[in-house]
Structure 1
Amino acid sequence: MLLSHARSLLFLPASNARAIDKARGLPCDMVILDLEDAVPDERKGEARTALAEAFAAGFGDRIGAVRINAVDSPFHADDLAAVRGIQADIIVLPKAEHPRDVQAVHGALEKPVIAMIESPLGVANAREIAQAPGVVGLFMGNNDLRRDLRIPLDAGREGLTYAMQSVILAARLAGVAVFDGVFNRIDDAVGFEAECRAGRVIGFDGKTLVHPNQIGPANAVFGASEEELETARRLIAAATGGAERHEGQMIEAMHVEQARALIARAEANRGDG
């Protein structure tokens, strides 16, 4: 699967063998084994040891990734040593603030990197980070960003709007994928779906997840409904070139390209199961 086609990206503690095994049967598009926040300090060694076995078994047609600890973490060097040689598709680097952060990880591991933008400095440097060699995508790290921006825990996402749109713009300029941050209230299905829809509207490709029950809604929202696909097919069939009227709106070549891209992504997701 292409990273740009991913809709649902599930974080799992690398130390949780049972959850990892279960993930092989889940319909998520990416599995991210976490060595950072999801693993207590005293279990990080155990989590690193479990990585090789987990990736040796593979994740089928899902993208397999590892989130290592940040470059300034005391655990970073040991993470690099543990990840070197395993069959992960992508490395996720948290708290990326400078292009040199991701360049160093890419150079050390020779694997594609997704940079997590989690701080004001990361947002300010997002354009340069996205264009750094080896970077294939950006994640929003909204939890840390909320704290740094002093946004109340129970507030909505209005205070994150500029940051999110800045990161999306940086990704589009660099031609890489970009994904919305996690939704922590795992029992709030209505709130989760609403946040997915809001994320898609502003341009995210998919959403990072913290629980398997979030996979289905993320796939549905960031995929294409049958109604959307049928609308796209009608537009393509009706277009004859140049600007013209179609179903009450003006369309031109760029709308045809957009419709074809929507259909192609949906077909790719179906092909990947």
Structure 2
Amino acid sequence: MNHAMTEPDPRPRRSVLYMPGANERALEKAKSIPADALILDLEDAVAPDAKPKARKRVAAAAALGEYGHREVTIRVNAPGTAWHEDDLRAVAEAGPDAVVVPKVESAATVHAVERALEAAGAPDRTAIWAMVETPRAMLDARAVAAASQRLTVLVMGTNDLAKELHAEHVPGRAPLLTGLSLALLAAREHGKVILDGVYNDVKDAAGFEAECVQGRQLGFDGKTLIHPAQVEPCNRLFAPSADQVDRARRIIDAFEEATRAGRGVVTVDGRMIENLHVDEARRVLALHRATGGR
């Protein structure tokens, strides 16, 4: 089935914060952090011998539903690992907003996760977020994005991608731009949300903000984060600016007035306005409202 051009979920995912699943204090602290979404992590943040205990803790935390407006997801261990199937069963029972699956490289992986969730009784509300983080994943991102309606979000794994490419982490991310763009094209073709990768240096505020701006300009819906201090600037930079909101309102007002008057040509600030500009203006205002704007 072709799901191209379906509209993405309107919920904001500007800031999506990884929280270590083995750390009870971190899971508690997450209830007061103003992130749009949380990824309770059973993978990289948890040592092998701590994974079974972390699984129980994270599943219990997600099932309690004490995170308010925040979207709550659980990142499981990768397909093929010793923990993956048990993780999926625990997720199905807990019923979070989504399961985040690392190392997704094909539609077959998405189908296998979907079958495992359904077999374990996962509620329909539990979506799949696929992490794409290898050269194969970039080249097959289109098939991954099209694989399932339960799959709603693509998550960039930029650290793994850089490693696989033998690329350096440099300002502007030139070595990663081809991969980022391929994943973005796939997400947009199939109406999926797409999240940018993490920024590693939590002390480099200027570098982080520059990468947020770049991600927004490229078209990402938000960014995955590794530290609570990154949440506020990320929320600010991935939300429409006051100027963007003002311009969006003027475009819609001018278009509606011209439509009522039967005029075929609409201009705002000296520029001709077409339907595509109106669609984008409506998207800006919808995001503004969703992030608390009026």
Normalised to the residue count of structure 1, the TM-score between the two structures is 0.94
CA distances 1:57-106 after superposition (whole Å, capped 9, x unpaired): 32111111000011121221221232221031101110101111111112
* Equivalent in 222, 226, 231 of residue 210 of structure 1: 226
Matches within 5 A, 1:84-99: 84-99=92-107
The alpha-carbon deviation at position 112 of structure 1 amounts to 1.4
Match of residue 70 from structure 2: 62
* Equivalent in 51, 62, 74 of residue 82 of structure 2: 74
2: CA distance between counterparts of 1:183 and 1:42? 27
2: CA distance between counterparts of 1:235 and 1:165? 28
Matches within 5 A, 1:223-262: 223-239=239-255, 240-241=258-259, 242-262=264-284
Matches within 5 A, 1:20-31: 20-31=27-38
2: CA distance between counterparts of 1:217 and 1:103? 36
What SS class does the counterpart of residue 96 from structure 2 fall into? coil
Match of residue 119 from structure 1: 134
The alpha-carbon deviation at position 154 of structure 1 amounts to 5.0
2: CA distance between counterparts of 1:29 and 1:154? 27
Give the conservation status (yes or no) of the 8 Å contact 1:205–1:222. yes
Q: CA RMSD in A?
A: 1.7
Identity %: 43
Match of residue 56 from structure 2: 49
2: CA distance between counterparts of 1:258 and 1:93? 31
**Aligned residue pairs: how many?**
271
Match of residue 188 from structure 2: 172
CA distances 1:83-137 after superposition (whole Å, capped 9, x unpaired): 2210311011101011111111122114311111100001111000001112111
* Equivalent in 259, 282, 285 of residue 263 of structure 1: 285
1:10 aligns with 2:25: no
Instruction: Return 5+ residue gaps in structure 1 as ranges.
Output: none
CA distances 1:183-241 after superposition (whole Å, capped 9, x unpaired): 01111111111000000101100000111011111111111122211111112112224
Greater shift after overlay, 140-149 or 225-234? 225-234
Matches within 5 A, 1:127-206: 127-133=142-148, 134-154=150-170, 156-206=172-222
1: CA distance between counterparts of 2:12 and 2:90? 28
The alpha-carbon deviation at position 152 of structure 1 amounts to 2.1
